[in-house]
Homo-oligomer: A and B are copies of this chain.
């Protein structure tokens, strides 16, 4: 990195880009102006009750950042650049009264040569415009449908209406040599059955002259390839690397990362600049699944399912993961540590893919660096979600620039697996379709700039599916009943809601509202009621249906968390049992941007796992026994049935095993069957017998099904179901009945 000059901002608001604020407060950069103001003025915590509403006026003012740069001597041969990865969302940059830049779009970096101003000293002003809104629209996401501003901040079923803006990325005054490296990018193609890599490293320098040296370092830091040549403005170093260590997703192999280094030397041999890039060599394709030709048997015939099966380095893999949303409302406060804590949990849960939902931001660079390291594949959506983004010339121009910036920044990451136009754009509530100019533009930019990485216009496509987001469907069926009847190629969203832990609730709900939760107040502000269809996300009627009335908050929380976990077990494992037709299971959603009262998330704000997280982790073990049980609630006389499976997501076979199924009942533990399972091939499943048992007359209880793998306890699985028997007689009577 370059030497930097000190830079310290203050921020205030005004009524125009060129109008000075009456008052300024210290600005945290990276950060968000709204939070700076609230902190300086001691706003109450925005996460408590509906305090966030106090921020609403901040949407419609100009936020004026100011920094005083003293006159500074800059030696000949050096230039000073104002540089940042992005400014949210529409802004002007001024040096004293002179406008240096106007830009709309937060993902296009800013790089301005400010040397003459620094030499004499100046006031740097960055004026951030009010949040973009289509006039006349209601105060919801549709206001964002003419901009590339992430729509989530305009209010979602798990995100309050709270729109951040400002300097959300680091802003630096970099002192660079006049001759420096402007761009450095390493491309490659795997050849000869993924054995060798044809590498091209592009080095663009600010002026020709001197020498460029390109070096590839292997994992141990040893030089794997090196080229040195006179520096033109545009240079490409080409090399073939043999027997490369491939990069693999989590649990499929190592995450081998090489380092590609560009160095620029002056004619006299002085090192002027250096840039580094980490490279994971891997190939990624989207393939159709077996039986994708669903209409193959009948005329008139339609098209095949859209390909959604990821093939990495020639190996088809099952993708387990979740939908990532940004972990802070105030995106400027997200740090590498924020990301790392939550990505470690994802890796621990055996996840290998995160879908970065199009309603939110494109994450900061450290997110992708961490995903490269941890083997978490990234499905990256452009910032379009649930709206009809009409292809006006203005919108298309901003989207064109922003999407090119996003592609250019991210295409070097091994973890980046799929480009996607955005979320649910082909559904009725959005109304976009294959002809939408915005999506045709994104497809074209991705193909031209990154042709070897798959692009899909939106999710779901034909064959894939989203939803449902409740444990018990409006028609009375539960997820255990519904899922085995579906045969989708990928479940890229599905939810099962549960409440947050009691201690979290106490930090967001006023004491007097805590129990019983009611619509209208802090619970509703925190998505427990009226968030989506029905009584989501708390779903008290569902908890009551299964358990009756809860006596206190602790019991209610425990019950909704229990149901959430059971729901996710049903879906994650059923999706895996449907391999190879289904190859992707991503629940909605992984994390959350503030503490909710109830939500579909697996980990709560700040990174604390909910019970569902641990259940999902069990259901995602790469090798395991599994049982398909087609109902959650059982009663007297039912024939309980569990279809046994062995699941194997690993590239090596699972040897022959002995599997036993047990059902634990109030009157003891019954062995249901023994399955001498033959070997399961690499990345494959095996279906075994269906164990059955006629349920007798017991008091209400939890039925525990255990699928034990002899000598391999780490592969055994346990499932819980409910048994309800309102007509159950007293113990002695029931005994008599059983005889």
Contact = CB atoms under 8 A, between A and B. Distances in A.
Contact of A435 (B303, B307, B427): B307
A435 B304 CA distance: 13
B451 A440 contact: yes
Contacts of A427: 293, 301, 303-304
State the oligomeric state as a number of copies. Answer: 2
A299 interface: yes
B443 A440 contact: yes
A447 B443 contact: yes
A463 B303 CA distance: 8
A494 B300 contact: yes
A302 B491 CA distance: 10
Interface residues of A, number: 49
A315 to B, nearest CB: 17
Contact of A426 (B303, B464, B468): B303
A639 to B, nearest CB: 27
A328 interface: no
A295 B429 CA distance: 12
Contacts of A301: 427, 460, 465-467
A460 B303 contact: yes
B491 A300 contact: yes
Interface string A285-317: 111100001011001111110110000000000
A468 B297 CA distance: 11
A456 interface: yes
B465 A451 contact: no
A469 B300 CA distance: 9
B307 A464 contact: no
A494 B427 CA distance: 29
Interface in A258-308: 285-288, 293, 295-296, 299-304, 306-307
A301 B469 CA distance: 11
Nearest to A441: B447
A462 interface: yes
A303 B302 CA distance: 15
Given A443-B440, A444-B448, A460-B301, A433 B468 contact: no
Contacts of A296: 428
A455 B443 CA distance: 12
A427 B285 CA distance: 19
A458 interface: yes
Instruction: List 5 A-B pairs, minimum CB-CB distance, nearest first.
Output: A300-B465, A299-B468, A299-B467, A444-B444, A303-B426
